[in-house]
Amino acid sequence: MWARSLAAGLLGLPLTVGVVGLAALLWPGPLRDHALVLLVCACPVWVGALALPFQLRSATRAWIVMTAITALCFAAIHGLKFIGWVRIA
């Protein structure tokens, strides 16, 4: 229980920022039009991220899955910016 709760507490926010941030960058159309909607939706996404570790089979798996999703999202955010597919304007 404690290991899962710690995963939720420590990785919940980074995961939310990664997932919502990536979604905002990939969404078609200008950022100005949809960024705020997605940011307001960050709260329910955060609750989902807090719930995730408790649905997974073990605490170890929870830590691995959450770290992996977060790392992938941030890698994608920086990768897309690096190759110039997305620009913050």
Partner 1 sequence: MNAKTLKTWLSVHSGIGIAAGLLLFIAFYAGALTLFHHEIEEWSAAAEPPAGPPPTLADAQRLLDGVLAQAPKMAADMRLQLPHDGHGLRAYGQDPATKTWRSFELGADGQPREQRERGELGEFIYRLHYTVGIPGAWGTYTMGVVSLLYGLALVSGLVIYLPVLARDLFALRWGRNLKRLWQDAHNAVGLLSLPFHIVFAWSGAVLCIGTLLLAPFQFLVFEGKLLALIGPQAGFSRPVQASGTPASPLNVEQLVAAATRAAPGLEVERLHIRHHGDAAAQVEADGVVHERHLSGAARVELSGTTGALLHPVQRPASYGSGTALLRGLQTLHYGDFGGLALRWVYFVLALAGAFLFYSGNLLWVESRRKHQQAAQPRRASVMARLTLGVALGCIAGISALFVGTRVPGPDRFADAVQPVYFAVLGLCVLWALVRPLPKAAFELCVAAAALTGCIALADAAMLGPRLLRGDLLLWTVDLTALLGAALLLLLARATRHRARNGAPHSVWALGA
Q: Which long-range contacts (CB under 8 A, 24 or more apart) does 61-67 make?
A: 62/3, 62/4, 62/7, 63/3, 63/7, 63/11, 66/7, 66/11, 66/12, 66/15, 67/11
Q: Is 13 in the site for partner 1 (CB under 8 A)?
A: yes
Q: Is 74 in the site for partner 1 (CB under 8 A)?
A: yes
**Which member of 7, 15, 46, 66 binds partner 1 (CB under 8 A)?**
46
Both tokens assigned to 86 = 């997305």
Which residues 47-66 are close enough to bind partner 1 by CB under 8 A? 47-48, 50-51, 54-55
At its nearest, how many Å lie between partner 1 and the CB of residue 70? 11
Quick check: 68 and 16 in contact, CB under 8 A? no
Residues that bind partner 1 (CB under 8 A): 1, 4-5, 13-14, 17, 20-21, 24-25, 31-37, 39-44, 46-48, 50-51, 54-55, 74, 77, 88-89
